[in-house]
Copies of this chain bind each other. A is one copy, B any other.
Amino acid sequence: MDNLTIALDAMSGDFGPRIVVPAAIQALHHYPNLSIFLVGDIKEVRFFLSKENTKLVTQYQETGRLMVTESTSIITNDMKPSYAIRHSQGSSMRIALELVKNNKAQACVSAGNTGALMGLSKLLLHSLTGIDRPALVATIPALNNQNTVVLDLGANAECDSDMLVQFAIMGEILAKSVLHIENPRVALLNIGEEDIKGLDKIRAAASILKANHQINYIGYLEGNELLTGKTDVLVCDGFVGNVTLKTVEGLIKIFLSSFKMLLGHNSLVMKFLSKWLQRKLVKNFGYLNPGRYNGACLLGLQSIVIKSHGSANQKSFFAAIEQAILAIETNIPEKIANSLSSALPKSE
């Protein structure tokens, strides 16, 4: 396997280097062909590195697999994207993206401000030809061991019909080339199944997709079909996608924790049973837990940028790093670029 290099925005997310640093060490341990740039405040990064296995850290640094790159500022979550971008010089997010721009790294992972990450990525790494704005995409597990590619998950709170069509096409290419689904079904998320339902932009996108014979467009799906595997690609605007995904995550958390309480019991037999059931539960539903599929890919860029949940812990930030590795190995931007020109509607 080829060597991989990833730049991590170590100051991003609710916990910054406290979780990014151990997740990086975990990834270096797991993937012998991986190198990592930790971009952040040198003092802070060193402090959290000192809490890791010193021998390993020294070894990673001496072999050039672990590099600490200094940043002098942080883009916070309460900054407007436009403001954040204007003031991004020296920030950990920008420097991590510049490492990708300058071909020092093949992917960037950040748990920071989504709008700023989107804007800066577009500015520094550029969109693919024919793509107005990149979209956050994730592959969500569905019933019967199926998977559904869902986008946009929050990069674009407002979308027009052209963007929805571009998302559909990118999602379709992803389903084909990464999930190896031959003729992926593509649906639009809507509030009814009838043609007349929903918003103007969705109806307009539906007309364009219907006319595109390269796309296996199957129509509208409603929220209750989200995890049923009725489609391989589900397209929506970033506001709805974000609310929906978070609703699913929240509900699953409630379910799993309520279940623990429900089974809380004092007798030995019950304790045993409860453990057994919890194992079954985690095995059957744990895959839906946010941490398991953390890391949404910013699809439609010329390079790879992965957005982690802001609230990610070490385990889920590690999952986001793994998403970056998968994206590099499957060469997502090139695959999208190669298929885009034939799939996009021709402008008159």
Contact = CB atoms under 8 A, between A and B. Distances in A.
Contact of A248 (B192, B194, B245, B251): B251
Interface string A211-239: 00000000000111111100000001011
A226 B242 CA distance: 13
B79 A196 contact: yes
A280 interface: yes
A145 interface: no
Integer count of this chain's copies in the complex? 2
A44 to B, nearest CB: 23
A247 B223 contact: yes
Contacts of A315: none
Tell me whether chain A's interface is mostly helix, strand or loop, or mixed: helix
Chain A interface size, under 10 / 10 to 19 / 20 to 34 / 35 or more? 35 or more
Nearest to A246: B223
23 contacts: A77-B194, A114-B192, A158-B199, A191-B238, A222-B242, A222-B246, A223-B243, A223-B245, A223-B246, A224-B249, A224-B250, A226-B251, A227-B250, A227-B254, A240-B243, A247-B248, A248-B251, A251-B251, A251-B252, A255-B255, A255-B285, A262-B280, A262-B281
Interface of A: 77-80, 114, 143, 154, 157-158, 189, 191-192, 194-196, 198-199, 222-228, 236, 238-240, 242-255, 258, 262, 273, 277, 280-281, 284-285
